[in-house]
Amino acid sequence: MQVSIIISLCNGLACLQTCLKSLASTLPSGLAHEIILVDDGSTDGTREFLQGLALPYVVLRQDRPLGYTASVNRAARIARGQYLALLDDSVVLQPGWLEPLLAAFAREPRAGVVGNIQVHADTLQVEHAGIEFQQGGYPVPRRESIQTMQASGAWLTVPAVATTCCLVSRDWFVRSGGFDEGYRHGFAAFDLCLRAREDGLVNLLATASVVRHGSALPGHRESHEYRDARRFLDRWQPRTLALEQERTFAEARAQAATLARRYLAPLHRRLGLGSRALRRQHRAALAAVQRARFNQTRPIRIGVDLLRMAPGGANGGIKPLLFAFLAEMGRQRGAAFNFAVFAPESLRSELAPVLRPGDYLLVPSDTALGVSRRTTAAWRPDGTMNSDANVAAQAGLDVLYTPFTVSRFHQPGLPWVSLAVDLLHRDLPSALPVEEVNFRHDCFSRMAAGASYIQCLTRHGIERLSHHYGVHPARCFHTYIPAQSRLPSAAPSVPPAPIPAGPFFFYPANFWPHKNHEALLAAYRIYATAAGSRAWPLVCTGAPDRRMELIREMTLGLGLGDRVIFPGHLDDAAFAALWSQAGALVFASLHEGFGIPLLEAMSFGVPIIAGDLPVIREVAGEAFLPVDTRNPQALAEAMRRLAIRENLRADLAARGRARLAAFSLSLEAGRLAHFLEAAARRQSP
């Protein structure tokens, strides 16, 4: 089905009948569609009218009013269409209203919310033609004439549109959570559009689509207007102020060019200045316009500092996260983005499949940075840079991305986006040496003071960053790690030796103190002693280091040497083979920034035991068996239950597969790309 049309209504039967009549007469012939009507507690005869409707109408009834946002979200969850057409019952549709909205999605793969021009039903004056932010970041409707907008093109990119009549992808709408139900109506539309922008999408106004809009029922929405506005500004005002400032600067540049062209030249003539002065003035005005146009259309050069990244798996999940995001951003933005990656020579081969032709690799030596440009098949030397000078200026960077918090290449005036993986040094400082705690605190303090935007891996991470460093949430955003597609799906049927072929408990984690291997081994000993010969083995992968050897020695001391296996760091094929044979993930970690193994377990249908932590709850939802991982006895009991109860394993695996729908590489990479571009364009709070 192509389109699900959703109308939420509460009383106002006459408006609804007029809307449905106009809808029936304007839908394109042959369109596969359904019309979902949500009766939000009507008491004026609307319910009796709805009882007489048949397909393609679908009627949802609510005995008590839940509000517009909750009603639309409920309808979206059961909708079957590829797109959702959201309509108010006060809209009178005109012929040709839907086709331009569908065409916008066909033309623009990054389309977010597509709206149209809305005119007053009686006066035919333009009421809404997209939304701009003015007067301190407040949403204000654009009201240009229809002729002016249509002369500008079939679609205009706008910060937001009114959802009185709009089209949106159902997949994105549901995955993003739909409307924020903290709003009752009006400002939820602007909140939705700004979230679409954060996900790397663009909001469009289809200028060929025009509808008439009547007045809402008295008290139907206006009573919630102040509270909704306050909620919107509390969340978005720092960012809408940045959008307002950018628009103001653009208008000022245009006015300056107009002033030079229209007024300065005649003034020079009246003052008797010669043609040379006039030509000089005209050249300056033309150059200013060309610079502004170039800055809006040229590729954005993004510097990525990976100098602290090691080859192999020593950095844990940060490497697959970054490599996947860089590759996806390059695919999405194409020639609009250009990467210049600072990395050690040891990463050259690993970066080859990630970077595209035209991207750069900058490798430091003792006194300089060697620059290589990626060609179709190889790296081509492209000179050197003086590492003591302003490298950002030499490389022509518009924005610097620092996945390891801060970078020595940052210069004053250069926007930068930083990644805060976790707050381990503040939430669990005992897991780190005191020198590392102090080092991280210094880095986070500098990041909090200077970064344009800060990327976290969960909403909980944003809360902890705000708590410890006082960073306003408007300067933060989160990107989940959609790791479920990272590993090859066609894994070998037999895992590499010496891994057992039968079910086993699996813990993929580097041997850092907060990963809690000691408590896991103590719990496993309790479990294995009670289960005897029926006990599942335990497999612990991770980059070999001194702590791994200590954990291995502990295993021998507990008499578990033949039941606990340490295969080290494995390549992706061997790692996938382990997942295909694992009986359960036992995720004993005491602190996480995200938890990539959770998604890997879900994708392979492996049930999960994990600590009952806020981050785990946010990522896994209800798809895990919660346990206190500090308590070996409780952890052992959870392992025993999962090993003997097949129905529990099947239920958790099914929940995990359903939970995966919340994670999309395209969506998360698009969000990161949006904030990198916003920082480069100086659109930061």
* 61-73 residue pLDDT tens: 988 888 899 999 9
Q: What is the pLDDT of residues 520-533, one digit of tens each?
A: 999 999 999 999 99
Distance between CA 489 and CA 491 in Å, rounded?
6
What pLDDT score does 385 carry?
87
pLDDT mean over 197-213:
93
- Delimit the domains of the chain by residue range: 3-238, 248-297, 301-482+669-680, 490-663
Dihedral-angle region of residue 568 (phi above 0 means left; psi in -120 to 50 means alpha; beta otherwise): left
Quote the tokens at residue 625: 């068996």
Q: What is the pLDDT of residues 550-583, one digit of tens each?
A: 999 999 999 998 899 999 888 888 888 899 999 9
pLDDT mean over 623-628:
96
What topology is assigned to 301-482+669-680 in CATH? Rossmann fold (3.40.50)
- As a whole-number percent, the residues of the chain with pLDDT over 70 amount to 90
What's the CATH architecture for 3-238?
Answer: Alpha-Beta Complex (3.90)
Distance between CA 641 and CA 418 in Å, rounded?
42
Query: Is the pLDDT assigned to residue 189 strictly greater than 50?
Result: yes
CATH number for the domain whose boundaries are 490-663? 3.40.50.2000
- Which residues are bridge partners to 362 per DSSP? 342, 371
Query: Is the pLDDT assigned to residue 142 strictly greater than 50?
Result: yes
What pLDDT score does 221 carry?
47
Confidence of residue 219 (pLDDT cuts 50, 70, 90): very low
Distance between CA 400 and CA 544 in Å, rounded?
32
Quote the tokens at residue 570: 């494995």
Distance between CA 3 and CA 285 in Å, rounded?
49
What pLDDT score does 254 carry?
62
Which residues lie below 8 Å from residue 90, measured CB to CB, with a gap of 6+? 12, 15, 19, 164, 213, 214, 215, 216
Q: What is the pLDDT of residues 459-505, one digit of tens each?
A: 999 999 999 999 988 899 999 999 888 887 765 656 666 777 789 99
pLDDT mean over 266-292:
59
Contact assessment for residue 616 and residue 595, using Cβ atoms and an 8 Å cutoff: yes
What pLDDT score does 271 carry?
55
Which residues lie below 8 Å from residue 205, measured CB to CB, with a gap of 6+? 114, 115, 116, 117, 129, 130, 149, 155, 156, 157, 158, 161
Same fold, 3-238 and 490-663: no
Q: What is the pLDDT of residues 365-377, one digit of tens each?
A: 877 889 999 888 7
Q: What is the pLDDT of residues 85-128, one digit of tens each?
A: 999 999 999 999 999 999 999 999 899 999 999 999 888 899 98
Distance between CA 79 and CA 58 in Å, rounded?
10
Confidence of residue 220 (pLDDT cuts 50, 70, 90): very low
What pLDDT score does 233 carry?
87
Distance between CA 143 and CA 127 in Å, rounded?
6
Confidence of residue 278 (pLDDT cuts 50, 70, 90): low
Of 194, 192, 187, 208, nearest to 104 (Cα)?
Answer: 208
Contact assessment for residue 349 and residue 311, using Cβ atoms and an 8 Å cutoff: no
What pLDDT score does 498 carry?
75
Which residue would you say has higher pLDDT here, 141 or 253? 141
Q: What is the pLDDT of residues 322-348, one digit of tens each?
A: 998 999 999 999 889 999 999 999 998
Of 482, 503, 506, nearest to 599 (Cα)?
Answer: 482
Alpha helices in 46-93 (DSSP H): 46-51, 68-78
Contact assessment for residue 183 and residue 191, using Cβ atoms and an 8 Å cutoff: yes
Query: Is the pLDDT assigned to residue 13 strictly greater than 50?
Result: yes
